[in-house]
Structure 1
Amino acid sequence: MISAGASGIGLEIARAFLEAGARVQVCDLSAEALSHAGRTVKGLGTFCADVSDPSSVDQWFDHALASLGGLDVLVNNAGIAGPTAALADVSVDDWDRVMAVNVRGHFLCTRRAIPALKQSERGAIINLSSVAGRLGYPFRVPYAASKWAVVGMTQSLAIELGEYGITVNAVLPGIVESRRVDEVVASKAQVKGISEADMRAEVLAHVAMHRMVPMSHIAGMAVFLASPAGRSVTGQNMNVCAGVQTLR
């Protein structure tokens, strides 16, 4: 099961699991994205749900578990970028929405998944955090705070669920080739009063490999963590970031 799996990184992860022979159910808030994904990705199960809403999460799990007959892997991918602004200019509503999706959503899905994962012999939880979950990120405080929270949740759950054979890991993407990153770069360029090209160059100057990360590399890490080769990996922060040293 993959939250926010109808587009972007979530859909790339769904494709990778399908290619590995898994049965995959995704949810997403966008009915349009779900419709497109369902038409174009063979074998993908879809459901419209808001991960920040308990009743919506319950409906998704009822549907998905009935279809799958059990659960081996939960990928908590749902997350929003939130505002790009100095903290003093961030509204309470914007702060609350970021936390509702990026943290509460992980909590609600994980809480519902645990009983089913305990019945699996290869249970795995994979949480999507970010390099913003290990580094300071000026003008992106709500997002960074939420991603640090995901790391704390991951490491704590790894200990809590280890006795049941359930692995819990976080994937920390760096500057990913995606529309969301393009939008964040544009927003930060506006805040800093520089061009988007200069902002992008500034961002990549602090990446060891001086490039962005393809979404397929994030998906590959998720599949590895759910594979037999990943069964002894738990409580880890897997940085797939091309060597991000700092965020600006």
Structure 2
Amino acid sequence: MSEFAGRFKDKIAVVTGGAAGIGLAVVKRILAEGGRVAVWDRDQKQIDATIASLGEGALGIVVDVADWASVEKAAAKTAEQLGGIDVLVASAGITGPNATTWTYPIEDWKRVFDVNVHGVFYCDRAVVPFMQAKDYGRIVNIASIAGKEGNPNAPAYSSSKAAVIGLTKSLGKELAKTGITVNCVTPAAVRTAIFDQMSQEHIDFMLSKIPMGRFGQIEEVAALICWLASEECSFTTGGVFDVSGGRATY
């Protein structure tokens, strides 16, 4: 990682879902590469433990990404305390239960969309004005290979991640003539705590679809995210980047 030392010098990043999983790996890498990070998450205890382990440069903020008022307040607090917002990695998400479309619980469907779609929209919407003030920004929305292929028995998750891809392309085009880029990452399955929300049958199905025959590693996904979040990503916007072990077919 030494070759990237200083890549995020003087940059201020927001990472949602940053207290665990892929989000935490991104937080650690940005800090190691000279940036400062606001860790947005729902769990106060987990945020406190994470911030205590990270040391200087990290700010913890309790946020419900599914609530616009909470996101708007968090963005203002981040900008005030850290001096602006240069990077957003929208990593917070849930899977919802595994069920067929015709038996899928309606309340679970709404909750998945509240977090995975409305939450990403709220976060994107909240940070853009701060980036426009500097004419610089990097937005990385975390989607999923399920949003491109549609996993059976995961209709809400698949549909919500497809919506994130569409949002990314729309926002990327809107900001294309500015210094702000917007891209998304579509990982295949990566073993994190989110697996606890899935059935073993569904986990086995996802593994069977990966030609490399293994799940992705958190660090592999974080490496791609951090490139998209860096100054180096200057001529790529509205893009969709696979980390799929060969699964992606388009």
CA RMSD of aligned residues (A): 1.5
Instruction: Please list the CA deviations of residues 188-244 of structure 1 after superposition, one character each: whole Å capped at 9, or x if unmatched.
Output: 35xxxxxxxxx63x5333212111111111111111012232111111111011112
What corresponds to 2:183 in structure 1? 169
CA drift of 1:120 comes to 2.7
Contact (CA 8 Å) 1:85, 1:139: kept in 2 or not? yes
Within 5 Å, give how 1:49-128 maps onto structure 2.
49-128=63-142
Instruction: Please list the CA deviations of residues 63-85 of structure 1 after superposition, one character each: whole Å capped at 9, or x if unmatched.
Output: 11111211111111111111111
Distance in 2 (CA, whole Å) between partners of 1:119 and 1:217 is 32
Report whether the alignment pairs 1:230 with 2:233: yes
Q: Which residue identity is paired with 1:8? A: G
Distance in 1 (CA, whole Å) between partners of 2:82 and 2:180 is 18
1:16 alignment partner, one of 7, 29, 50: 29
Distance in 2 (CA, whole Å) between partners of 1:182 and 1:98 is 15
Within 5 Å, give how 1:19-34 maps onto structure 2.
19-34=32-47
CA drift of 1:58 comes to 1.7
Contact (CA 8 Å) 2:138, 2:230: kept in 1 or not? no
Instruction: Please list the CA deviations of residues 113-140 of structure 1 after superposition, one character each: whole Å capped at 9, or x if unmatched.
Output: 1111112343111000000111021000
Distance in 1 (CA, whole Å) between partners of 2:180 and 2:164 is 17
Q: What TM-score, normalized to structure 2?
A: 0.89
Report whether the alignment pairs 1:42 with 2:45: no
Q: What TM-score, normalized to structure 1?
A: 0.90
1:210 alignment partner, one of 213, 221, 224: 213
Report whether the alignment pairs 1:153 with 2:167: yes
Higher helix share: 1
2:153 alignment partner, one of 119, 123, 139: 139
Q: Percent identity?
A: 35
Distance in 2 (CA, whole Å) between partners of 1:155 and 1:245 is 18
Distance in 2 (CA, whole Å) between partners of 1:71 and 1:245 is 32
CA drift of 1:41 comes to 1.2
Distance in 2 (CA, whole Å) between partners of 1:132 and 1:28 is 24
2:245 alignment partner, one of 236, 242, 247: 242
Q: Which moved more, 1:1-10 or 1:114-123?
A: 114-123
CA drift of 1:182 comes to 5.3
Contact (CA 8 Å) 1:99, 1:142: kept in 2 or not? yes
CA drift of 1:61 comes to 1.0
Distance in 1 (CA, whole Å) between partners of 2:66 and 2:153 is 24
Q: Which residue identity is paired with 1:37? A: T
Contact (CA 8 Å) 2:169, 2:238: kept in 1 or not? yes
CA drift of 1:184 comes to 1.9
Instruction: Please list the CA deviations of residues 51-108 of structure 1 after superposition, one character each: whole Å capped at 9, or x if unmatched.
Output: 1111111221121111121111111111111111111221221111000000001111
Distance in 2 (CA, whole Å) between partners of 1:9 and 1:204 is 18
Contact (CA 8 Å) 2:97, 2:197: kept in 1 or not? no
Question: For this pair of structures, how many residues does the alignment match?
Answer: 235
Distance in 1 (CA, whole Å) between partners of 2:92 and 2:196 is 18
Q: Which runs of 5+ in 2 are unaligned?
A: 1-13
Instruction: Please list the CA deviations of residues 9-68 of structure 1 after superposition, one character each: whole Å capped at 9, or x if unmatched.
Output: 111111111111111001111112111101111232101110111111122112111112
What corresponds to 1:195 in structure 2? none
Contact (CA 8 Å) 2:30, 2:37: kept in 1 or not? yes
Instruction: Please list the CA deviations of residues 121-175 of structure 1 after superposition, one character each: whole Å capped at 9, or x if unmatched.
Output: 4311100000011102100000000000000000111100111121100011111
Q: Kindly tell me: are residues 183 and 80 of structure 1, through their superposed partners in 2, closer, same or farther at Cα, counting changes over 3 Å?
A: closer
